[in-house]
Structures are given as C-alpha cells and as structure tokens.
Chains A and B, each alone.
Chain A
C-alpha cells in the first residue's frame, strides 16, 4: 500500500516541477519531497562506497595514499598482518628471496581448495576409489582440470620448497637468530613430501599401489621395529606387528592402507603442516623479519666467541 502511494506521489512531484522546495502535497502523512531528497542522498552515497557505514564496518580504516593508512591497511587486517608495516627496501626485489616461500604457501592454499573440492567426489574404499577418479575425469564438470591442478600443484610445491630451502641456505639465513625457524622449515619439508606421498595411493591405480608398496617395504627393514630389519626378530617383530603393519593397517597395501593414507592425506598432515606454517611465519616476524639483503660483514669484524 505504502509503495503504491510513493510511486503516485513521485509522478506528481515530477509533473509539477517544484521538487525540493518543500511545499509539495502531503499524502497519508508522507512528504514525497523528503523521500526524494533521501533517495538522492543514497544515490550520491553509492558514488563513494568507501564512505558508507557498511564499508567502514568491514575495513575499519581509510585507504588513501597516506603512510598512516598504508600502515593501518596492513596492521588492521587479519590476513595481511602476517606482514610488518614496512620492510627492507631491497628485500622486495625478486632476486633476494626468489619468492619461493610465498609461492610454496600459495600452492599449499591452492592444493587445500582443490583438495577439498576433490573430497566431494571421492570415497576412500577399494570399491569406489578408482571409479571416483574415472568419474572425476569423465563426468564431473571441470573434474579433470581439478584433478590435474591438484596433482601438478603438488609436484610444483615440492620443487618450490626445495628451491626455497636452497636460497635460505645460500643467503645464510639459517644463522643466528633464525636457527629454530630453519628447523621448522625442515619439518615443513618432510610434511610436504609426506603429503605428496600419501596422496599418491589415493587413485588406487597401479602407479600409486606399487610406489607405496616400494616405499613402505622399506619400513620392513627398520632396525628393531621392522620384521626384516636388523635386530627386528630379537624384538619380536613379525609382518603382523611391525611399523609397516602400523602404517598400512595390514600386512599388504589394501583397503585399510587406503583409508589410512586418506586420513593422513586429508586431515592429519594438512593440519600439522598448517600449524607449522603458522609457527614458521610467526618466527619470521619475531626473528626480525626477513634476513636481508643485510649489510655485509667483514672477516676482521668477527667478534671473539663468548661462552
């Protein structure tokens, strides 16, 4: 009812040409001029979205080109505040870090998303797993692209993590005070490789099956804990109670192994990796930010060691 009235009065206001001068007719106690003025006000506001309450409530601070708001833009954002507000001017050049840590993280992120999407179509059972992959490849819209991106992304991440470690070594960035972060890095490297390896079995095809068979056969030979390893028999190891059995949930790579690989791959290892990444990034900040390019130190400036 009210809607209709407004429309009508709006037309009238338009025809008598006296918009805005305040002496328009009132209908049912509503002043059409005031409504029109408000509507114009709203439309004007849309032209400057950054001034709206909605915008301010989300972004909290202005984003103009003052140093203050550039700083706040980083510090007051939960994702960006991983970064400091300012960094070494030479560290932003590509040639120092090669961006490999950041790219590894981005790839992890891409893998998480594509991985979650793949999980919608995948059952970790001997009956379904292989068929699910076929289904993904042939029927699911973009399923093939999804699987390919997950696979190649994983390979690429292994490469970028190696390169990241390579550059951290070559810039001596593991030296004091960053020793511990290097350790966290090594753990991340191992987790990255394990993520890739556990994923290998999931399509339940010949490639994954034999790769995992070759890989876990080595566990048989673990000293003391594998039934074919040195001293294994003395410790009472058999094919049914050694580490390999624990990894596979059986004495052969079968349905239990598939389920275990799935849980490690989709839940446990990504959880550990994410946790260690948080620690890793936190420590980069706490250890004084990125290590360089630092001013070079000369041999004669080495201080005698205090113990």
Chain B
C-alpha cells in the first residue's frame, strides 16, 4: 500500500472537485430518495383510500386548512437566495485561500505530459477511448449524449411524477438515468481521475504509479480470434455481429419494458418514432459496458473492421 501515492493523487488541488463529487452525489441521491420513498408511501395510502385522495392536499409537507398555499417572494425566497449567496461566497473564498490553482511548466509541445488527462469532467469520454476509436468516443458519443438528453422529455410518455420525487411511479426512467449519470458518467470520471496513471494504465488506489510499467496484453479483433482472413467476409461478419447485438439488446430492452402492467400501459402511449428513438439510445447506452466487457473479459479489440472505420 503506497499511502504517499494515494495522498499525492487525492491532495492534488485539481482533484478536489472529484472528492466533492464522491461526497455530493451519494448525499443528494440519498436526499432525493428519502423524499421519493416518503411520497411513495403517501401515494400508496391515497390509492388505498379514495376518500382521502379527494380531500388530502397530496404532499408530504404539512398543510392545515386556512394556510395560504403561496408565500411572498419578498422576503421568504429572497432571504434564502441572499443566504445561499453568502454561504457559496464563503465556501469559495475559503477554498481559494487554502488551495492554489495548479500551474505547471510553460506549455511545451516536445515534452508530453504522462499521464496527459483531459479536464476531469471529460474523463468519462477519455476513459471510453480505451474501448472505442476516437470517432466514437470523442464525436459520436458526446453527440448522442447531448441529443439523448434533449430527447428525454419527448420520449418519456409517463405522465406521473411531474413535479414531485417518486420512485414507484417512474422506476424505468429512474433506473435508466441512474445508470447513465452515476455509473457511465460519474464512476468513469472517478476512474479516470484516481485510477488511471501513466500511460493511461490501471493502478488500484494505493498502487504506485510506475512510469515504466508495461502490460503485455494482446488485444485481437474478433475475426482474428475466429480465424477469418478475407476482408470482405470479416467486414460482413462484423456487421452481422453488431446487428445481432442491436437486435438482441433491443429485444432485451423490450422485454424489460413490458415486464409490468404499468409499463405496458405507458408503452402504449408511445408513437413508433418515440419508441425507436428510445431503443436507439438505450441500445447505444448498453453498448458501452458491452464493449468494455468484451475487452476486459475476452481481449477483443474490434468487433467490426472495415476499410473506413472500426467498431
């Protein structure tokens, strides 16, 4: 256990946001789910008791007859904003007084930094570079992330859970978001920061970052493993494998989606276009861990090799 190495990484001022991330994301996840579960319990009560559903104000917050449903922004909101501004300023001041922004040597194109890392919020994409060619990791995936995020409101046809925390009423949406945001994004950021060392190699926390470490691993293309040598045939073969993956995953996603009565009802409300967009996005999302598994478990470099691009 190389505590010094661990401390060197953790105490790097530029890594403070990642430490913050590791604290703040679990905290707010807990904070949100605590409210979601409380709401879910109330929803169950309301569903069981139609009389109550008619009269209840349907929030977990206390409410008594005669209370105004609205309050004045001046002062009830403004004082909070003012306080928040003061607290944020104080935190930022303390942070800025105690930790200095990094400044390395002057830029030098002849001296490569090792590891040379993108800013921390892009490390998820850089991590993807291990598994995918740059045109996928650096161009297609960011585009799909942006387009996919924008598409969310237009493909989520579930009218429940609009304006309150709930888990029960939006299970599928919440699981999808959590896997995308927490596992595929935040965890990758943490891996990229804390685990990836020189040569973008994997170093467990506490392992010394050895600049001379060499890993002899041979990644081979799928068609090489199987033994196809003709470019035309392995081009077609690769396409079939990818197509097979798309079909299988699409099928699995569909099964998952139609598992509950409620989800079938929501699915009914989707247009074909909405459904296909959702499938495209979900299949791509599953593609990331799938390719990672293919690499880590079977040492597969590319699945589909063509003269123009490789997947």
Partner-B contacts on A (CB < 8 A): 67, 70-71, 73-74, 80, 83-90, 92-95, 98-99, 102-103, 106-107, 110, 130, 133-134, 137, 144-145, 147-153, 155-156, 158-159, 162-163, 166-167, 169-176, 178-179, 182-183, 186, 189-190, 193, 196-197, 200, 203-211, 213-215, 217-223, 226, 228-231, 252-253, 291-300, 302-303, 305
Tell me the bound Cα distance from A189 to B122 in angstroms. Answer: 13
Pairs of residues from A and B, 8 with the lowest C-beta to C-beta distance, nearest first = A218-B138, A294-B163, A292-B163, A179-B153, A148-B96, A209-B107, A221-B134, A230-B309
Q: Are A74 and B106 in contact (CB under 8 A)?
A: no
Closest chain A residue, CB of each to CB of B76? A92
Tell me, rounded to whole Å, the shortest Cβ–Cβ distance linking A64 to chain B. Answer: 12
Q: Are A221 and B139 in contact (CB under 8 A)?
A: yes
Tell me the bound Cα distance from A204 to B105 in angstroms. Answer: 9
B276 contacts partner chain A, Cβ-Cβ < 8 Å: no
Q: Are B106 and A206 in contact (CB under 8 A)?
A: yes
Closest chain A residue, CB of each to CB of B154? A179
Q: Are A167 and B116 in contact (CB under 8 A)?
A: no
Tell me the bound Cα distance from A252 to B110 in angstroms. Answer: 12
Q: Are A71 and B72 in contact (CB under 8 A)?
A: yes
Evaluate whether A88 and B135 lie within 8 angstroms (CB atoms) in the complex, with A159-B24, A172-B164, A297-B162 already known: no
B170 contacts partner chain A, Cβ-Cβ < 8 Å: yes
Chain B: interface secondary structure?
Answer: helix
Chain B residues with Cβ below 8 Å from A228 are: 134
Evaluate whether A86 and B73 lie within 8 angstroms (CB atoms) in the complex, with A95-B35, A209-B109 already known: yes
Q: Are A204 and B20 in contact (CB under 8 A)?
A: no
Q: Are A171 and B165 in contact (CB under 8 A)?
A: yes
Closest chain B residue, CB of each to CB of A231? B308
- Which of B69, B159, B166 has most chain A Cβ within 10 Å? B159
Chain B residues with Cβ below 8 Å from A218 are: 125, 129, 134, 137-139
Evaluate whether A297 and B16 lie within 8 angstroms (CB atoms) in the complex, with A92-B80, A107-B88, A197-B122 already known: no
Chain A residues with Cβ below 8 Å from B174 are: 170
Q: Are B160 and A103 in contact (CB under 8 A)?
A: no
Chain B residues with Cβ below 8 Å from A215 are: 118, 122
Q: Are B134 and A220 in contact (CB under 8 A)?
A: yes
Q: Are A205 and B163 in contact (CB under 8 A)?
A: no
Chain A residues with Cβ below 8 Å from B246 are: none
Closest chain B residue, CB of each to CB of A182? B153
- 5 A-B Cβ contacts within 8 A? A80-B78, A107-B88, A162-B181, A170-B36, A205-B106
